[in-house]
A and B are shown apart, each in its own frame.
Chain A
Amino acid sequence: MLRISGLSKIFGGLRAVDNASLQVDAGRIVALIGPNGAGKTTLFAAIAGFLPVDGGSVELLGENITGLPAHQIARRGMVRTFQITQPFAKLTVHENIAVGAYQRFAQREAAWEHARAIARQVGMERMLEQPSADLTVAGRKRLELARALATSPRLLLLDEVMAGLNPSEILEIIAIIRAIRDSGVTVLLIEHVMHAVMSLSDHIYVLSYGKIIAEGDPQQVVSNPAVIEAYLGRGAAGQAREAGAQHA
C-alpha cells in the first residue's frame, strides 16, 4: 500500500528525518513510535505533501506521489490527522465531518448521510449539532478521526489520536481503530500510548533522531536493546538485562 524509501527532510542543519524507509501493507495496522522529537510528525507531514521532501521517495498504491501537493495525495486515498487538533471551529460537528464526506459525495444529502454514518461509527452521533469549538480534547480527537474517515480513505495516517484521552476513552478508540481496519482501511499511526500500540499493531517501526532504528512485530521491538536505549538512554538496555538477570 505505502512504501517510503530513504526519505529525508532537512531543516537548515538539522536532519529531522534521515534516510527513513518503511512499508505499510494493505489491511494492516502499522505503528510509528519513538521518543519525543524523533521526527515522526515531520515524516507524516512530508509524505502527505505538507512539507517538501529533501530526499527519497514515497509510493502509494504503486504510484510515486513524492512531491505532490497535499490535497492531491489526500484525494488518492492517503489522509492524515493532525497532532494538534484543528477543527473547523465555526462549524458544527456534522458540518465538519461533511467536509470530509464531500470528498466522495458531491450531493449534500449523500454527504450528510455519510457524515452521520461516520459519526455513528466513532461514537459522536449525539454531538452532531454541537459547535465543534465547544468540544473537549477527546471530542476533538474523535472529530479529527471522523473527518478523515469520511473521505473514504485507503490509508489513514493517525497522529497521536490518543494523546490526552483517559483510559476508557483509549479503549474505545482502540476498538474503533480496529473496526476501521476491519472495514478495509489501512492504518499507519503515531502513538505514545504503549499498550494501545502493542494491542493494535501488526508491525512497528521505531524512529529516533530521524532514523529508523528498529522494526518488527510488537514483541520483537519492545525487547530490542536499541529501542530501550532510545527511550531510556545509553546503557539502559544493559541495566535492564542485569535487573532481569537479578530477578531470575
Chain B
Amino acid sequence: MNSQLQPVPWKLHLAVLAAALAFPFVFPSNFAVNFGVLALFYAFIGQSWNMAGGFAGQLSFGHVAFFGAGAYASTILQLRFGMSPWAGLPAAALAGALVGGVIAVLSFRAGLRGSYFALITLAFAEVLRIIANSTDLTGGGLGMLIPMKAGAANFQFAERSGFYYLILLLTLLSVALAEWLRRSRFGARLAAIRENEESAMALGINVFAEKVRVMLLSGALCGVGGCFFAQYFLYIDPTIVFGVDKSVEMLLVSIIGGAGTVYGPLIGAVLLALASEGTRAITQVQGLSLVLYGALLVLIIAYLPNGLIDLFKRRPQPRKETR
C-alpha cells in the first residue's frame, strides 16, 4: 500500500493504453513488435514476482520454478497428450500454482524468511531443472520443440502482433490484479506481513495462510507466463525455463522499477527491454545489458531502495507532529 505515490490521472492511463494498442500499427516491423512483446512479457512475469516479492515481501530467487512448471505443463499436454494449446493456459496456471503452493507450505511451515527463503526457492527451482533435464517426458536436455502450425486455433499467430495483443491483455490483467491487491483487505494484510509479521499476527492475521495464498496467486500468474513463452518461441529446455536467468530478470524488473507498487514492474520491464534490445543493436557482445542491469540494481538498492518509481513520489508536506 503506497498511498504516498501520486495517483495516476486517468487521462494518463488512457493515453498509455491507447499508445500500447496502437503500437504494432505505428511500428509494424518485426523488430519493433518483438520489442513490444518482450517488454510486456517482462512486465507480466515481473508483476507475478511482484505480488509475492514486492507486495508480500517474500523475496524469491527461484520464481522460475513456476515459470518452467507452466511452460512444461502446457507443452507436454500439447505434444504428448494432443490437447489444444489454448488449454495450456489454465493448465499452466494450475501447474504454477501447485508448485507455488508446495514450496510455500514447506518453506513457511519451517519458518523460513528473508534470505533463507530466497535461497530455498533457488534450490527448488534447481531441483525442477535437474528433473526436467533427466526425464523423457520433458525431452531431457534436448528440450521440447513445438511444431510450427500457424493459426490462432493453434495458439500460434501468423502475425506476430497476435502475440503482442495477447501479452498486452495478460499484462493488463496483471496490472488489474495488482491494483486490486493494493486496495483489498488481502493486500493490506500482505503489506502488514511484509512490514512486521509479529504485529500482523497480533492483529489477527493468519500469516502462514496469507503467505501461501499469495504464492499460489504469484505461481499461477508466472506459470501462465511460461505457457506464453513456450508458444512464442516454440522451443523450451530446462536451462531456458528453469534456469536462474529468468528468476533474476523477474526480480530485477520489479525491484528496479519499484517492488510492491502497481506500475513498478512495468517501468522496470520497459527499461530491461530497452537495455537488452538496445545493447544488441549496438554490439554483438553478449551480456552487456545485464552488466548495466546488475550495476543498476546495486545503485538502486543503495540510493533509491524503493525503486525508480520513487522518482514519481509526491513530496510529502513537511508536516511535523504538532504536539
Contact = CB atoms under 8 A, between A and B. Distances in A.
Contacts of B201: 49-50, 69-71, 74
B207 interface: yes
A99 B203 CA distance: 8
Contacts of A86: 196, 198-199
Interface stretch (B238-246, B279-287, B314-322): B314-322
Contacts of B323: 138, 169
16 contacts: A50-B201, A70-B201, A70-B202, A71-B200, A71-B205, A72-B206, A74-B202, A74-B204, A88-B192, A90-B194, A99-B205, A102-B189, A111-B188, A129-B3, A130-B321, A147-B203
Interface string A92-108: 10110011101100111
Interface residues of A, number: 44
A95 B188 contact: yes
Nearest to B198: A86
Interface in A105-140: 106-108, 111, 126-127, 129-131, 135-136, 138-139
Nearest to B206: A71
B215 interface: no
A24 B108 CA distance: 35
A48 interface: yes
A91 B191 contact: yes
Contacts, number: 100
Contacts of A8: none
Contacts of B203: 74, 79, 99-100, 103, 147-148, 151
Contacts of B202: 48, 50, 70-71, 74, 79-82, 148
Interface residues of B, number: 30
B217 to A, nearest CB: 18
A103 B204 contact: yes
A106 B199 CA distance: 19
B11 interface: no
A76 to B, nearest CB: 9
A75 B1 contact: no
Given A74-B204, A86-B199, A88-B199, A99 B4 contact: no
B204 A71 contact: yes
Contacts of A130: 316, 319, 321
B55 to A, nearest CB: 11
Interface in B295-323: 316, 319, 321-323
A88 B191 contact: yes
Contacts of A50: 198, 201-202
Nearest to A77: B204
Contacts of A95: 1, 3, 188, 191
